[in-house]
Amino acid sequence: MADAMPRTSVEPLSTVRPPGTIQLRDFRPPDIPRVSEIVAEALREHYEPSLYTSLSQSWPGGFLVAVDGSGTPQGFLLGVAQVPREARVLMFAVDAAHRTSGIGTLLMNTFLERCRERGLDRVTLEVRVGNATAIRFYTRFGYSVTDLLRGYYSDGENGYQMARPV
């Protein structure tokens, strides 16, 4: 009986849907300028453009981009699978004007599906201890803190490592 089955995978916010014009697709190199813009604003980081291409190569399906009706990226999630059976979210951000409309949820749910398809067991990520919005988001998604990373960020802020089973 379905009601008696243990709930093995509960995704939060499953009823939250971003505007119908938002579509997810794999990253493409022409996305780099817009992705860099989102990274600069949302994550306050600047990376060499070639970093995005090289990180996408080992697992193209782990780098998801949310594009609007005109094809412009408004959010992305860059995950890598460099440790056996484990994924790591390296970057995750949505354009400020497009937040709280479900794009982050769509990106994370789709990324977790991709992890399942790849047969991975666990996802890890790092987050600034002061980033309450992201910590709340990840906690709703079943991530929990596994480590305190002292002085992890270039400006000296501590980080949390968080993880969840796939």
Ligand X SMILES: CC(C)(COP(=O)(O)OP(=O)(O)OC[C@H]1O[C@@H](n2cnc3c(N)ncnc32)[C@H](O)[C@@H]1OP(=O)(O)O)[C@@H](O)C(=O)NCCC(=O)NCCS
Residues that bind ligand X (CB under 6 A): 13, 16, 42-43, 92-94, 99-105, 127, 131, 133-134, 136-137, 140
Q: In 5-16, which positions are buried (b, 16+ CB within 10 angstroms) versus exposed (e)?
A: eeeeeeeeeeee
**Kindly report the CA angle at 105 between 48 and 101, in degrees rounded to 5?**
95
Comparing CB distances to ligand X, the nearer of 122 and 135 is: 135
Q: Output the residue with the shortest Cβ distance to ligand X.
A: 104
Closer residue to ligand X in complex, CB, 4/35: 35
Nearer to ligand X among residue 94 and residue 112 (C-beta): 94
Q: What tokens appear for 46 in the block?
A: 């600047």
CB of 45 to ligand X, least distance (A): 10
Shortest separation between residue 28's beta carbon and ligand X, angstroms: 20
Nearest of 81, 106, 94, 79 to residue 134 by alpha carbon: 94
Longest dimension (CA), the chain: 53
- At 138 the three-state DSSP class reads helix
User: What is the closest distance, in whole angstroms, from the C-beta atom of residue 36 to ligand X in the complex?
Assistant: 14
DSSP 151: T
CB of 84 to ligand X, least distance (A): 23
Q: Which is nearer to ligand X, 73 or 102 (CB)?
A: 102
